[in-house]
Structure 1
Amino acid sequence: MKKLFLILICLSIGTLIFAQSAEKVDEILDSKNLTRGQACYLVGTAIGEVKEADSYQTAFDKFKGLKMFENKKHDEPIRFDEFSNLALQYSSIKHGLWYSIAKNPHYAFRQLKIMKMIPQKTVPSSNITPFTAINLLAKIMPKADR
């Protein structure tokens, strides 16, 4: 099981590595929890909105218009439901009815949980780890970016 998990992580990282410099990815993976700026950097580079050389602050500023980021800072840890919302907005997954209407973190998290992309025991308000975030992005990013 450990070997399978390690292979999945390596494949997930490999799918995103072409879009980011190895230095930034290493820095992100060395963090205990993913910050809002790092999350915006990962999603932004995956969709082509953020350049490899951009800082986390610059990446965060590109997504700062989202309602969930109002009055937030780029260096604060991002919650699982917020990351789910950020990633789902730019994903290739067909959105469910409630998420299409509300576009908020609660329904994004709920949709990914129903689709079994998030483990059932995961708490929406918990902080997301970099490995989990990259693995989730590898599953839901647009096929053109894979």
Structure 2
Amino acid sequence: MVLLLFIGGGALSAQNSSEVDVILRTRELSFAQAAGFVLTAAELLPLDTPGGRVGELNALALAANSGFLPKRVSPTVAGSGDVPIKLGELCFLIMKSFNMKGNFLYSLFPGPRYSYRELKYMRLVPEPSDPAMPVSGLQLMQITEQVLYYLGTDAGTTDGIQK
């Protein structure tokens, strides 16, 4: 629970403790769960968005319509939001949601592969990691915390070195 204190007010203000508990207990997050959490943390969802399953479906629709998700995941295709999200796909969702700029390859081929490599390079993805591995709720919160910290520090600089 100490980790939750560092995530920031935006992520926690729209999510109650029972929703956070569900995410923390989840071993394999779905696209809908991940979209709900990440879009809330990025402040792309209005604060009055309902929580629970309704909020997840609203977040899934917003993420899909914004091009943050693979084509196979759509709010109009029954059950596609319940598919487990992989780490590379989560990295892509995070980079798009927080409007993070990537390197040359990411700018040419924005997608899970290069977004994973970019967040890995920035040391925002904890070890062990693989872009094809499923994501747990704890990993989602750790990565989101790292991204919020990174974006909150002097425009992404650490030790005077621009990332």
Structure 1 residue 14, shift from structure 2 partner: 5.6
Mapped contact 1:37–1:75 kept (Cα < 8 A): yes
Partner of 1:39: 34
Q: 1:45 to 1:22 in 2, by over 3 A?
A: same
Partner of 1:132: 139
Mapped contact 1:82–1:105 kept (Cα < 8 A): yes
Percentage of pairs with the same residue:
23
Report the 3-state secondary structure (helix = DSSP H, G, I; strand = E; otherwise coil) of the residue aligned with 1:64: helix
- Paired residues in the alignment total 137
Q: Distance in 2 between matches of 1:49 and 1:10?
A: 19
Q: Distance in 1 between matches of 2:31 and 2:6?
A: 20
Amino acid aligned to 2:5: L
Query: After superposition, what is the alpha-carbon deviation per residue over 1:39-62, rounded to whole angstroms, capped at 9, x for unaligned?
Result: 110111122332441421221111
Query: After superposition, what is the alpha-carbon deviation per residue over 1:102-145, rounded to whole angstroms, capped at 9, x for unaligned?
Result: 211100000111112224541110001111111111221454xx
Q: Distance in 1 between matches of 2:114 and 2:17?
A: 33
Q: Distance in 2 between matches of 1:59 and 1:109?
A: 21
Partner of 1:101: 108
Mapped contact 2:68–2:97 kept (Cα < 8 A): no
Partner of 1:11: 5
Mapped contact 2:39–2:97 kept (Cα < 8 A): no
Q: Distance in 2 between matches of 1:59 and 1:67?
A: 11
1:24 aligns with 2:19: yes
- RMSD (Å) for aligned C-alpha atoms: 2.3
Q: 1:10 to 1:46 in 2, by over 3 A?
A: closer
Gaps of 5+ in 2: 74-79, 153-163
Mapped contact 1:113–1:120 kept (Cα < 8 A): no
Partner of 1:71: 72
Q: 1:84 to 1:67 in 2, by over 3 A?
A: closer
Q: 1:71 to 1:85 in 2, by over 3 A?
A: same
Q: TM-score, normalised by structure 2?
A: 0.72
Gaps of 5+ in 1: 1-5
Q: TM-score, normalised by structure 1?
A: 0.79
